[in-house]
Structure 1
Amino acid sequence: MIEELNKKLEILELDKIKEILPDYIHKTSKDNLTLTEQLNYLTAEEINYKDSRAAEGIIKAANFPFKKTLEDYDFSFQPSLSENQIRELSNLSFIKNHENIIFIGNPGVGKTHLAVSLGIEAAKHRNSVYFITCHNLMTKLNKAQKENRLDKQLQHLAQYKLLIIDEIGYLPVDHQGSNLLFQLIAKRYMTKSTIVTTNMPFSRWGEVFSDNTLASAVLDRLLHYSHIIRITGNSYRIKDKIVESDSRTNEYNE
C-alpha cells in the first residue's frame, strides 16, 4: 500500500510529503488526529518546502553579489538610519504598491547591503528579483541595441517585480546610455518596483548622465511613489579600524 501511495505522490510531485510520510504515519498512529488535521499538516509541509525551493531558485538567478540579510546589518554603526523604517520596508508592501526605494550615501555606508537584503526578502516570498550595477546595465543595454534586440532586453528587465540597480553615479553614463536607462525606467514606471543605490545627490545627476533633461526624466519617474533613504556616517570598510583606533586610545589613556 505504501509503495503504491509513494508512486502517486511522485506523479503529483509531492516530494516533501513522500519524504516525511513514513515517520509521520508512525507518529500519528499514537496520536488521535482527524484526517483533516493530518492533511492540513502534510500539505503545509509541502507548501513550505516548495516555497523554500522556489526562493532558492530566485535567489540563485537574481545575480546578487553576496547573500546578506538585515540581521547582518549593524544599525548601531549608522545612527542616521531608521531601523524601524527599513524593517517596515522589509514587509514588502512597497512591491505590492509598485513603489521604489532609493538609498543615498557615501561609499561603504551599507547601501548595497540593504538593497540586497530587501531583494533576498522579496525572493523568499517568491517575487522575481534581479540585481545589476549601473555600469553592467549600460553594457547589457548597449549590447542589446547593437544586436537589434533592445526591445526584447528591455521587456525582459521590465518584467522583474523588483529590479535593483546598484552604484548609479560611480561612473559617468553617456547620452545613449542615459536614453536607454530612461526607456527601462519608463517601462517599469508604476507597474514594478526598483531599488537604486547612489552616492550622488539628485542635484548632480545631470553630471552623471551628461544630460540634465534625461536625468530629470529618470528622476521624475523614480522619485514618484518612492522611499528615499539617506545614510550619513562612516564606511563599514573602516569600521574595524575605528574600533581598533578607539581601543588603542583607551589603552594609552589608561
Structure 2
Amino acid sequence: MPADVLAAYRPTGKGRVERQVLIVRDHVLSGRAFSSIEEMDAAFTAWVPRRRAQIHKTHREMIGHRAARDHAALKTLPPAPYLVAERHLRPVGKDCLIAFGGNLYSVPARKVRPRQLVEIRATKSQVMLHSTVPDSLGETLLAMHPRAVGRGVRVVEEKHWDGLPTGKGRRTTTGEVPVQPRHHRPLGEGSGPLQALLNRAAATQVEVGRRPLSVYDELTGTRPFTTHRTPKDSS
C-alpha cells in the first residue's frame, strides 16, 4: 500500500505521536532545571517505570504489558530499504510519450496503446512507468528512466518506438490530381426532395407580398415600440 508522507510541522496529523512529547514535557521537564544531559536522562529513566505501570485510557491495559506485546509482534526490517515515491496516473500519447513534471518519458509502443493509463512511480532520481494490469508473467514495469532536471526535456529510448506506424503504407499522390468531369443532369432529374423543390420553375416565380409591420401589430393586438418624452416645465 502506498504511504502518505505527512508534511513537516503538522502535529495535528500524528496526534498520538506528538502527545508523547507533551506527556514527557509535563511529567519530567516542567518546573525543573538540569545542569547536564546526564541529569536529564536520569530523571527520564526514573520516570519511565511509573509511566509503564499506569493504565492507558484508550485500550484500558497496563502500558508496560501492552508495549511488551507490541514489541514481540514486530517483524524484522526487509533487506531492501523502503522506497518513497510519488505515484500518479497519466495517459499515453500517440507517440508513446507520457507527460510528467513538465517533461516527456517514453514507454514501449508494443506494450501500450494510445490514451492508456500508466502508473508513474517517481523518486528524486528515477521515473518508473508501470502498467495497471500485470502481463502474463505478472510483471507491470514498462520502462525506467532517470528523472529529468528542469522542464521541457524528452527522455526517450529509441527502441521504445519500434512498432509505431512509419507512414510508408499511406497512399500518396504526386503532381496534380485530375479533376473528374461533372455530369449535368436535365432540369427535374435531380435526386432528393430538396433538389426537386429547387427545380420547380413555378416556385421560383412566386411573388412575395410586402406589407408594413403595423399590420402584424393590429393582428396580434400589440402596440409598436415608441419612446415617450415628458415635456419640460416652462418655468
Smaller-chain TM-score range?
A: under 0.3
TM-score normalised by L of structure 2: 0.20
TM-score normalised by L of structure 1: 0.19
* Structure with greater helix percent: 1
Structure number with greater Rg is 2
RCO comparison, higher one (Cα < 8 Å, 6+): 1
